[in-house]
Amino acid sequence: LAKTTQPISMDSYEGQEVNITCSHNNIATNDYITWYQQFPSQGPRFIIQGYKTKVTNEVASLFIPADRKSSTLSLPRVSLSDTAVYYCLVGALYNFNKFYFGSGTKLNVKP
């Protein structure tokens, strides 16, 4: 299983764009990159998933360079409600859901 490395915490202010980078040097050819958001005492919520280049949905963008050894989750114009822990996961199409959750990044959005 490919392990991931993320910053333990980040601070931001409301209205700013936040970029959280994840390192996954041992990513395999079949691996996809998935990001989850988790609020205290709740289950992780799926944010975005990608394989290469850029993926965008209504809440975030995911940038993946050509070597795929890292990825960056971009949250546009964060609000206080975006304060949460963000997890980067790497897993294959056929990994039968055996994901490895790292420590995640605690994002603290200030007013």
Q: Is 46 in the site for another protein (CB under 8 A)?
A: yes
Structure-token match 């919520």, residue found: 45
Site for another protein in 53-82 (CB under 8 A): none
Restricted to residues 90-109, the positions that interact with another protein (CB under 8 A) are 91, 93-94, 96-104
DSSP string, 10-63: EEEETT--EEEEEE-TT--TTEEEEEEEE-TTS--EEEEEESSEEEE-SS-EEE
- Total residues contacting another protein by CB under 8 A comes to 24
Fill in the per-residue mask, 13 to 32: x = in contact with another protein (CB under 8 A), - = not in contact: -------------------x
> Minimal distance in Å, beta carbon 86 to another protein?
13
Cα of first residue to Cα of last residue in the chain, in angstroms, is 38
The amino acid that residue 5 corresponds to is: T
Residues that bind another protein (CB under 8 A): 32, 34, 36, 41-46, 49, 51, 87, 91, 93-94, 96-104
